[in-house]
Chains A and B, each alone.
Chain A
Amino acid sequence: MKVRSTQAIMECLLEQEVDTVFGYPGGTILNLYDELYNYKDKIHHILTAHEQGAAHAADGYARSTGKVGVCFATSGPGATNLTTGIATAYMDSSPVVFITCNVAEPLLGKDSFQEVDITGIAMPITKATYLVRDPATIPDVIRQAFAVAATGRPGPVLIDFLKNVTAPDQMIEYEFVHWRENRGCSSIRSLAHTHELKAPEPNSDDIDILVDMIGQAQKPLVICGGGVVRGRADKQFMEFARKLDAPVAITLMGGGGFPGSHELATGMIGMHGSRASNVAANQCDLLIAVGCRFSDRVALNPATFASQAKIVHIDIDRSEIDKNVLTDHHIVGNARHVLELLNQRLTQQEHAAWKDEILSLKRDTVVEECDQLTPKQVLETIRQLVPENSIVATDVGQHQMWSIQHFHFEYPGQLLTSGGFGTMGFGLGAAIGAKVGNPDKVVIHTTGDGCFRMNCHELCTVEHYDLPVITVIFNNGCLGMVRQWQNLIYNQRFSETTLDRGPDFVKLAEAYGLNGYRVTNRTEMEQALTAALASGKGCVIDAVIDTDDMVRPMVPGGAHITNFLLE
C-alpha cells in the first residue's frame, strides 16, 4: 500500500502500541506534526515547556510503565536540548526512542538555519542513531529502533529524519505489521547477525557453578541492582532472596526491585548506604550482584570492595562483567530468566547466624520531635498520608538520598531517579511522564530548591494537562549536597552554593495556576499535603528546612566502604 512517509511514521508508532508522545514542534519537524494532527485521536501528544522536559517525561513514562517512551523535537536547538535527557536515559538504561527532524538534503552540511549533526552528538549517549535520508527505509528504521531500545540492555535510540524525507509528496510502500510479529527485523542484516533481539541465553553450567558456590558460602549477600527493575524481575528476585536466606542490599537504581520493607532488606549500599549494607559487603564471603554495574558510588574503592568475598555478577550486558570490579564468576543473561533457572536448582538455604549479625545493624528511622521542620518529618508525613503504591520521582542531591533512604519502594517503576547521570531537573519531567502513564496512581515529586529552579517551567505542563503531580521542595536555601562536601571536605568554604534568591515558590506555583503552600513545621506540612491530595490538582509545597542538614551516613568517594565519614 502506498502511503505518505509521515503516515508510515505514525503507523509504525502504532505498530509499537505507542499512544503517548512527548515533544515540542519546530520548523523542520512541521511535516510530522502536520501528520500528527490526523492521528490526534490515536496518539496523544504532550507539549512541554522545553525539549529537556519532554525528554525526561518520555524517560519517566518508560521507567514507570515498562514501555518504550517516545519523544519528538525539531532540529538544531530542539535536538540539542534533548541531549541531557538522552544521556540520563542512557546511563540508567531506560528505553526511549527520540525522533528529530533535520534540514532538507540540499541544505545538509551547509550550516543551514537550525542545522546540527544530532546523530553525531548523540552517538556516545545512545544505543544507536539513525540518519534517515531515504523515505523507503522508514518502516525498517523505526522497527529496528524500537527493537534496539527495548531488547537486551534497554536504552535510548535516536532517529533523525531529513525534512525532505517527511515531505507530503513522499509516498512509500508500507504494510502494518504488529511489533510482536516483527521483532526479528530480518530485513536489516546487522540485527539478524549480531544483535539477537532477545536476551543472551544464560549458560546452564554457569548456573550450576553458582549453585555450588552458594552451597559452600557461609555469609552470602545479594545486591539488587537496576537490572532487576528494568527486567521486572522482582518476583523471581524475591523467591531467590528467600531461598538464599541472606541479607539484600539495594542500589539506588535497584529501588523497587526488592521491597524496602522486607526483613531481609538492609537498605541502600554505597556512598550513602546503610551501615548494615556496607558492613555486609565488607564481611560477606559470597557477593551475588544482580543487574548492578558496581559504579563508583556503590563499589567506592574497587580494590577493597568485598575483599573477603567471591564476587558473582549476573548481568544482561557482557561488557559490564569485569569492567569496574573483577569478578570470580558471572552469568550473562536477563535477570528474570537467570533467577528463574537459579530458583529451580537452588534448595532452601539457612544462614541464621550471618543474618543476625547483619540484620541487627539495621536501625529504625527516628523522626525528630522539634519545631523546626526536618527532612525526615517531611518524608514521614508524605509516607503516612499518600497511598503505599504512590510513585516517587526525585531530582538529584540531598533530598534524593533522603527520599530513597526513607521510603520503602515495593515494586519496579515506583522510584524514578537519575542515578547514573545525576541530572538536576530530571524530577518534574519524569513525574509528568509517570502521571501520564499511570493516571490512577499518586505521583510525588521530591526536589530541592536548586533542582526545582532548573526545570520549574514544566509547571505549565502540569497545569495545562491537569496532572495532579505534587512537588515537595526541600528548601534549604543552598545547593545542599555540594555544600555538604564543602562543609566536610573543603573547610566550610561555601563557594557559590548559597541560593539566597527568588523566586517565591508559592507565588510561582500560583502564577502557573497551581496551588502553592509554604510550610515550616510538621503540622503545616500535614495540612498542606492533605489539602494538596484533596484538591486533585498539581501543586507545590515549599518545605523550609535547615541549611546545614546533612545526608547520613556518608562514605567519601574512593574510600573503603565501611570508612564512614558521617554516621
Chain B
Amino acid sequence: MKQTISVLVENQAGVLNRITGLFSRRAFNIESLAVGPTDDPTISRITIIVDSGNNMVDQVEKQLNKLVDVIKVRTLEENNLIGRELMILKVNATNKTRQDIMTICSIYGAKVDDISPSSMTLELSDTPERLDTFQTMMRPFSILEVVRTGVIAVQKGSGKI
C-alpha cells in the first residue's frame, strides 16, 4: 500500500542526506521524494511516498522522529489528501501529429511550454495516476524525455501539520 509521509525539517545542509541515509540503512524503500522550502525559510518540507505495510510506515515515522533536524512527521490519510505532481514531457511532433497531441493535451489540461519543428514540450500538474495515463497516451508519438518532480501533498480541510 502506498502511503504519504510529510516531514518538516530544519533547512540545513545535510538534512536530506540524513533522511535518505536513514531510509537506506533501515532498508525502507522510497517511491518518491520531493523537497522544498515552506513559508518559513528556515524550515523545509519533505514529502515521501513509501510503498509498504502499516508496520513499516510506523517504524519509518518513529525513526524519522529521532533525527535531531526533524521537526514534525505525519503520515497523511490516503483518502483525505490532495496530492499533486508536476511532469514536463518532451515528445516527437511533426506537422502530421501535432494536432493529435494538442487534442490529448486539452483533454488533460496540459500546457505547451515549447515547440520546435520536430518536437513539443508539454507540462502537466496532476495526480500521479493521471500523469501515468497522460504518459501512456503520449507514448505512440515517441517520448524523447520525461521529468517528474515526485508528489507533494497536503491534508484536506483546515488542519495543518
Contact = CB atoms under 8 A, between A and B. Distances in A.
A318 B58 CA distance: 10
Contacts of A144: 68
Interface stretch (B17-25, B84-92, B116-124, B127-135): B17-25
A191 B68 contact: yes
A318 B65 CA distance: 9
Interface string A283-321: 000000000000000000000000000000000011101
A194 B72 contact: yes
B68 A319 contact: no
Interface in B58-84: 58-59, 62-63, 65-72
Interface string A115-146: 00001100110011101000000000000100
Contacts of B22: 124
B42 interface: yes
B137 to A, nearest CB: 43
Given A193-B71, A322-B55, A322-B58, A317 B18 contact: no
* Most chain B CB inside 10 Å of its own CB: which residue of A119, A123, A129, A321: A123
A120 B18 CA distance: 9
A120 B16 CA distance: 12
A148 B66 contact: no
B63 A319 contact: yes
Given A123-B18, A123-B21, A322-B58, A190 B66 contact: no
Given A124-B21, A190-B71, A322-B55, A131 B13 contact: yes
B10 interface: yes
Interface residues of A, number: 22
A322 B61 CA distance: 13
B70 A319 contact: no
A195 interface: yes
Contacts of B25: 124
Contacts of B71: 189-190, 193-194
Interface string A514-541: 0000000000000000000000000000
B53 interface: no
A178 interface: no
B14 interface: yes
A373 B75 CA distance: 60
A190 B68 contact: yes
A323 interface: yes
A189 B14 contact: no
Interface of A: 119-120, 123-124, 127-129, 131, 144, 148, 189-191, 193-195, 317-319, 321-323
Given A123-B21, A128-B68, A190-B68, 20 more contacts: A119-B14, A123-B14, A123-B17, A124-B21, A124-B22, A124-B25, A127-B68, A128-B67, A144-B68, A148-B68, A189-B10, A190-B10, A193-B71, A193-B72, A194-B65, A194-B72, A317-B66, A319-B63, A319-B65, A322-B55
